Structure 1
């Protein structure tokens, strides 16, 4: 499984790189703040929403601490997606949130 640190992702965003981020936390968690460019697809709905994810792009998967995003990353990898888990999750995120 590919992984990225919160600092590496912050650097990509600060450099203006176009990054697809999928936040797999539940809606009430996301309401408390998410990475501005992230799309929320809760882990509980992921298997039903794979058609909403562009298979031609690389995606970074985010959750609260890195556990659920690791599960989502393994699931999506098994279905042919190019995905990377953000280690440490939003607990370690020091960048902008909205």
Structure 2
């Protein structure tokens, strides 16, 4: 299994502030996302990743987010196996201190 890069919420917040090019993928369930998500994130539930991964751009770097970092790690591993650059958000939304938006 390939090693998955991880990023802290603080590193992602800084990247957003510096307009660095990341596509943020939120793999939480609908009811979790309703509580708020990182602005600009795309919502693709973990169970839908296998069917929707081909709609994503392989030339982009994806930061994958869930509640605690476990499901997003699974999604990151799957995406990496499919040839995507995927970074797991360590600690997930539980550790996110930045702005959130409602879908």
Measured on the aligned residues, the alpha-carbon RMSD in Å equals 0.8
Q: Which runs of 5 or more structure 1 residues have no equivalent in the other structure?
A: none
1:51 Cα deviation after fit: 1.6
TM-score, normalised to structure 2, is 0.92
Say if 2:88 is the partner of 1:85. yes
Runs of 4+ in 1 over 3 A off after TM superposition: none
1:16 Cα deviation after fit: 2.3
Map of 1:6 onto structure 2: 9
Alignment of 1:53-92 (within 5 A): 53-92=56-95
TM-score, normalised to structure 1, is 0.96
Q: Which runs of 5 or more structure 2 residues have no equivalent in the other structure?
A: none
Map of 1:52 onto structure 2: 55
Instruction: Give the total of aligned pairs.
Output: 98
Q: Distance between the aligned counterparts of 1:80 and 1:15, measured in 2?
A: 26
SS at match of 1:72: helix
Residues 72 and 89 in structure 2, CA contact (< 8 A), matched pair in contact too: yes
